[in-house]
Amino acid sequence: MSTTETVGYPAAEGDIGRWTGWACDAAGLLLVALTVLIGVEILVRGVAGKSTLIADEYSGYLFVWITMIGFAHALQSGAFLRVDNLVSRMGPRGQALADVLSATAGVLVSGACVYATGTLTMASWRFGTVSIQPSATPLWIPQLILPIGYVVLVWLYLALLRRALRRLADRGR
């Protein structure tokens, strides 16, 4: 196992690695935007004694976007919580089997989240739901990242599942 791999999670390769790297960069840029937004709110309140009236709302939206975009890189780089202490004690076949089970669970849970958040986003769009804040932001806009982010996770978990099944088949010979 190379130094760039963790148990069960091969280092990012090809298009997936590039894409998750870009996603990490985008999450970083959104974090900068979040910091600027909060800084402007603090400055405006301190100097003018007024509020931007959007900092609370939009910082929440940005936080969700950062999280969902960052999940792709976190999964691909092996940064999601795992029980590596237990898995690393298994043999190669046991590790591959554990990875098959965890990737399958990831596909199922992420798939359920795609459905739930997709339904929520579509309902917000269909009914024209807006936030209760002064901005009256159409809620489908900040919610859109949720089903997109979970679709990406399903895609990445399927790639991990394919790799784990290949490893399991190779170890079975």
Query: What is residue 73's predicted lDDT score, i.e. its pLDDT?
Result: 87
Query: What is residue 13's predicted lDDT score, i.e. its pLDDT?
Result: 59
> Cα–Cα distance between 70 and 2 in angstroms, integer?
24
**Residue 141 near residue 167 (C-beta atoms within 8 A):** no
**Residue 151 near residue 114 (C-beta atoms within 8 A):** yes
**Residue 99 near residue 114 (C-beta atoms within 8 A):** no
- Diameter of the chain measured on Cα atoms: 72
Query: What is residue 95's predicted lDDT score, i.e. its pLDDT?
Result: 86
Q: Which long-range contacts (CB under 8 A, 24 or more apart) does 87-92 make?
A: 87/7, 87/8, 88/7, 92/167, 92/171
Q: What is the block-wise mean pLDDT of the chain (173 residues), using blocks of 10 residues?
A: 41 69 91 96 94 93 94 83 78 87 95 98 97 95 96 92 89 57
**Residue 111 near residue 119 (C-beta atoms within 8 A):** no
Question: How many CB atoms lie under 10 A from the CB of residue 107?
Answer: 18
Backbone angles phi, psi at 52, to 5 degrees: -75, -15
Burial of 19 (0-12, 13-18, 19+ CB in 10 A): middle
Specify the 3-state DSSP secondary structure of 163: helix
Query: What is residue 14's predicted lDDT score, i.e. its pLDDT?
Result: 67
Beta strands in the chain (DSSP E): none
Query: What is residue 172's predicted lDDT score, i.e. its pLDDT?
Result: 53
